[in-house]
Structure 1
């Protein structure tokens, strides 16, 4: 193997492993409404797996509500032992389970892999008087309840980002006027219609309206500027808000080790494909692929850390 490059060896190993996987059908639940990050993730998985010839028959289903916990409940109730059933989720779901005191948790499903990471952007209607992070901070200081935030579910990454900004701005994060929406389309309509002051979500959910000039970016929660977005970070504007959303795919509870291995092979091959990585670049997503037992350990750490963050921000007791 001394003459065989590491990258080539890894790629060959993944392809060889995927060659033995036999997954002829896949159903992907996106536990949110159309247009949001989970919906986009599910449909990007669908298009990539089909175009790469990895899984011929794939269906996507949307089940919205309560930060994904309604869909998660349905998924667990009806999919136990079903190797064709999968669900997408992520950091938002971790927080929503805690905030909503959900009866069903991520320990009730079979984690497969973390797929992507995405920084959060705060946007305003093009006509808004809020143009910068300092403008937003001053508005909060003057009338915290008068600044309305449209974002994803309570306790999710959008809520955490808003709470962290409020904290850094010197106001009580538990007092922000945060309005949760179950789908990106609903939140976008509220922002464009002037029903809320600002919106907070992943870049991919707002990208087309930002490019069209209908929305302006107040800041992005990245430690440094991102190539896909010509807008300042909160950090460079003097507000230390660094938050990255991550998204995953998981399988049903009660599947066999062989079925789990086959799914991991297919997802791993997808994550290494040119098609998948081209889609990620377009959407401003980062490939943060982490699979199997390593991802399960990471997930456990995230649950513990998020529980502490939500309590610190006053979002939960």
Structure 2
């Protein structure tokens, strides 16, 4: 085989994803972040992109933020605009599943290609520093007195903090359909609303509020975890039997073949071994929860069923 023919064959194999990672030219990855800057998906996407470059599985990573409808707007753009693109990725997670259940968008997550679950994170509920309330017990007392007067601020409708708020109401004897939930398209908007005292109580992943908690601008009153995080009491130890986690992952474009899916999965797994990614886990209080292949496919299907059942029971669907 002549040298030019060999190089053409090599390029064809690389394009098809049939070469091992070290034998292919590093990819120019396009990362869709279906949320506004400043939130958990944004942080996750950019941390993964940085780690992929450190692992040399990506030569460059470009990011596009498209917030709205619990990720459905970004999902639609990703599904419609990246078909067959083996270098396109989209951040997603439990929030997107909840949004799809409540919003019923015209596009479906099943149109894209599952790649990997990356992390899990529990939510923290916080009060603005100048709040007249001091504890979750104070919030619950007001919720029982007048459900609509307690404004819960957090991610899009169907997010884990929205579901958690409904579950809290249900557990303390309040009709969950009466909760006053204010949805925001991104973590930045929610943070601003909490700091400005425009909501009674805010919810999100601990990492999104950490700097404000440390600065005394927000008061943490409960976490949705099975045990304390940064010494913040759990809902369960406060007599509210609620525990719910938020996970995040990545999908590839629609129409990828098995080889392309494996290549993209290998790129992600290589990134998760880097020092950069380990630092991101520690900095953001993320729990590693890596899942790929058929196991990830099944997990997403099971999550859809579980979330739908919880949301129906809570009067959200």
TM over 0.5: yes
| 2:90 match | 87
Instruction: Tell whether 2:302 aligns with 1:301.
Output: yes
Aligned mate of 1:75, from 55, 74, 78: 78
| 1:123 match | 126
Alignment partners' CA distance in 2, 1:267 and 1:150: 32
| 2:194 match | 191
| 1:62 match | 65
Alignment partners' CA distance in 1, 2:274 and 2:173: 45
Q: Secondary structure at the match of 2:309?
A: helix
Q: Secondary structure at the match of 1:161?
A: helix
The gaps in structure 1 that reach 5 residues or longer are 1-15
The gaps in structure 2 that reach 5 residues or longer are 1-18
State whether residues 54 and 271 of structure 2, in contact with CA within 8 Å, keep that contact through their aligned partners in structure 1: no
Instruction: Tell whether 2:148 aligns with 1:145.
Output: yes
Aligned mate of 1:180, from 178, 183, 201: 183
| 1:232 match | 233
Instruction: Tell whether 2:226 aligns with 1:219.
Output: no
| 2:252 match | 251
Task: Please report the RMSD computed on the Cα atoms of aligned residues, expressed in angstroms.
Answer: 1.4
Aligned mate of 1:40, from 43, 66, 72: 43
| 1:164 match | 167
Structure-2-length-normalised TM-score: 0.91
Cα offset for 1:20? 4.7
Instruction: Tell whether 2:243 aligns with 1:272.
Output: no
Q: Secondary structure at the match of 1:56?
A: strand
Alignment partners' CA distance in 2, 1:20 and 1:265: 13
Cα offset for 1:247? 0.2
Q: Secondary structure at the match of 2:238?
A: coil
State whether residues 63 and 70 of structure 1, in contact with CA within 8 Å, keep that contact through their aligned partners in structure 2: yes
Summarize deviations over 1:169-204 as a string: whole Å, max 9, x none.
Answer: 210111100010001111111111111101111111
Give the length in aligned residue pairs. 299
State whether residues 50 and 276 of structure 2, in contact with CA within 8 Å, keep that contact through their aligned partners in structure 1: no
Instruction: Tell whether 2:53 aligns with 1:50.
Output: yes
Alignment partners' CA distance in 1, 2:55 and 2:269: 12
Q: Secondary structure at the match of 2:272?
A: helix
Instruction: Tell whether 2:106 aligns with 1:103.
Output: yes
State whether residues 170 and 176 of structure 2, in contact with CA within 8 Å, keep that contact through their aligned partners in structure 1: yes
Structure-1-length-normalised TM-score: 0.91
Q: Secondary structure at the match of 1:277?
A: helix
State whether residues 115 and 250 of structure 2, in contact with CA within 8 Å, keep that contact through their aligned partners in structure 1: yes
Give the 3 Å change call, closer, same or farther, for CA 235–22 of structure 1 in structure 2. farther
Alignment partners' CA distance in 1, 2:313 and 2:41: 27
Summarize deviations over 1:103-147 as a string: whole Å, max 9, x none.
Answer: 112111001000000001110111112222211110100111000
Alignment partners' CA distance in 1, 2:137 and 2:89: 42
Alignment partners' CA distance in 2, 1:22 and 1:148: 51
